[in-house]
Structure 1
Amino acid sequence: MKWKDHDRWAQKLGISKEVYRYVNNLIDAIAGGKTLPQEYIDFVHKESIRIAETEGSEKRAGILPIILSQETLKHDSARSRRTSGAIASDIQLKFLKGKGEDYVKAWYLHHALDYLYDRRYDGKSIESLFIKYEENRPVTFSREIIEFLKSNTNLEELKKDLNL
């Protein structure tokens, strides 16, 4: 989905331009040839070391921070639900929680829209995509975002943005 569409939906949710642009950049910067914010890179490195020290095995503790950092700083790194994606997701959310609730909402909105956009040709209705998304991500913010997309907006407009 294009950033202009992400931006428009974030505005409808009441998220400021500063916040949604920051979050969109955090998620998509690398693919767009941009750089990540230095404060985020620093946070990822520190958090990767913390995870390695508290949760890593002694044998691999030296390399684990490097692997975590590399995986977390990739484009759409938090989208995957595999181990590396789950860790990247946790790190991104921890960072964004420190910045405020709107940053977290913008993160969930971005990923929900990408999820819907990526599955637009699966032959399923938008309603069934909503249900599948909620089943896979049973988090309060995810439900709030899906309810926003279902009830507070023009469903036809969303379908148009998703090319459904």
Structure 2
Amino acid sequence: MEEEIRSTFVVGMESEGFAIYDSLMQLKNEVHTVCVGAAIGQACLLLSAGTKGKRFMMPHAKAMIQQPRVPSSGLMPASDVLIRAKEVIINRDILVELLSKHTGNSLETVANVMRRPYYMDAQKAKDFGVIDRVLWRGQEQIIADVVPSEEFDKNAGIRSVERV
């Protein structure tokens, strides 16, 4: 029974973040991203993965990238710890590659800043390439230009099922 419980633990939240990322990359239309509050870890990747020119951040929001973490191993056998550690390294390398792609930074730059948690205010996130613009009061037209959800679905090839 204990063995079954152990096998259900997830290595980290990267799998969920990569699933959302893969779904975003399948969309045919523009993806607008806006950071309100904080975009930490996988959320920072998703923020940067928006359509270039359509990635925004509120002025007092924060973004942060970091290496994936290994969950507590407790009393796991050493072989299980090794399996999880290898998976975290793979996830880290994928995260570095994707952040490099979307921010325009080299793999080395991203890997170096990810050695420790790397916090960015809105301007620093813009300079690093995570976003394109900081949203200030008076820029409401930017948000108003976002397509309505029905048109977004149509452009993305999503059809709703009509109920009778």
Larger relative contact order, structure 1 or 2 (CA cutoff 8 Å, min sep 6): 2
TM-score normalized with structure 2 length: 0.25
Structure of higher CA gyration radius: 2
TM-score normalized with structure 1 length: 0.25
Structure whose residues are more often strand by fraction: 2
